[in-house]
Structure 1
């Protein structure tokens, strides 16, 4: 059974096997969590992402999918990049958000990762309401069949921490 923990802090400081990056589809860095992971991890992550773009993901990583790279200088072994959906009031994209968590855990299992740190995917510039994102994330991880022993949700601020920890 997977243990789920909640931490308020910086995901780039987490000593885990795999850190999940809320990436953009280009895989080439961006703002928020994505930018922080690329800055803290250094050029090795960007180099690995460029190699993925040149091989399997020429058009970018599709929303809801996940792929792994080195973690560079991060205190983790790997970064699992996943592309969250942009929130829409007109279209229910909950299944795509849930897929980010399921696919990230699937990739972590393939890597042999036992500890995984997740951010609050899609809650920044993609504007997903925090409470709904927390519900989807925690329910999805609880229901996932995975060999991962600990899933750590690393939330940047108190509001996010409270939304996730209350699930």
Structure 2
């Protein structure tokens, strides 16, 4: 299936699961000020998914963890460790995050998934560069998954 690039809000996508661009889960989630994708998810999903994520402990850079979706209408949220301890993304962390999110989606039997631009917010990457890096992995590995990458735009 071709990967779709859309503009809008990640939390309004008609998919089974969304990806949360997260950190390495070293700092407790309740100490972090909600911002960007994670902040929007916390406001609309509630704290449940982040409590689940907190029980996972530290995540190696580029890995992915699945939680419930809280009050959101999805089957799951896939949290990816896309930024390092200095709040920066790298080419490898972006691509590994995408690769591992796809793997977790397949393990769960999900058929559709929406990604934000990993690494483009607090990760410091230019949006187009982050998208290009993501597309390399998605085009090669998404297979039959219905995948969309959402470029955030306020409606």
Task: State if a TM-score over 0.5 links the two structures.
Answer: yes
2:105 corresponds to 1:114: no
Q: How does 1:16-165 map to 2 (within 5 A)?
A: 16-26=15-25, 28=29, 30-52=34-56, 57=57, 60-85=58-83, 86-87=88-89, 93-144=90-141, 146-148=143-145, 150-157=146-153
Q: How far has the Cα of 1:145 moved from its partner? A: 5.6
Deviation (angstroms), 1:3: 2.6
Q: Deviations over 1:93-152 (max 9, x none)?
A: 31221101000000000011100000001101111122211111111101116442x101
Give TM-score scaled by structure 2 length: 0.85
Q: Give the TM-score taking structure 1 as reference length.
A: 0.79
Contact 2:9 2:153 in 1 (8 A): no
RMSD: 1.8
DSSP 3-state at the match of 1:3: coil
CA contact (8 A) 2:20 2:37 kept: yes
> 1:156 & 1:145 partners in 2: Cα distance?
21
Measured at CA, do residues 75 and 15 of structure 1 come closer, stay the same or move farther in structure 2, by a change above 3 Å?
farther
Superposition misfits of 4+ residues, deviation over 6 angstroms: none
TM-superposed deviation, 1:156: 0.6
TM-superposed deviation, 1:18: 1.1
Unaligned runs of 5+ in 1: 88-92, 159-167
The answer as to whether partners of 2:78 and 2:101 remain within 8 angstroms in 1 is yes
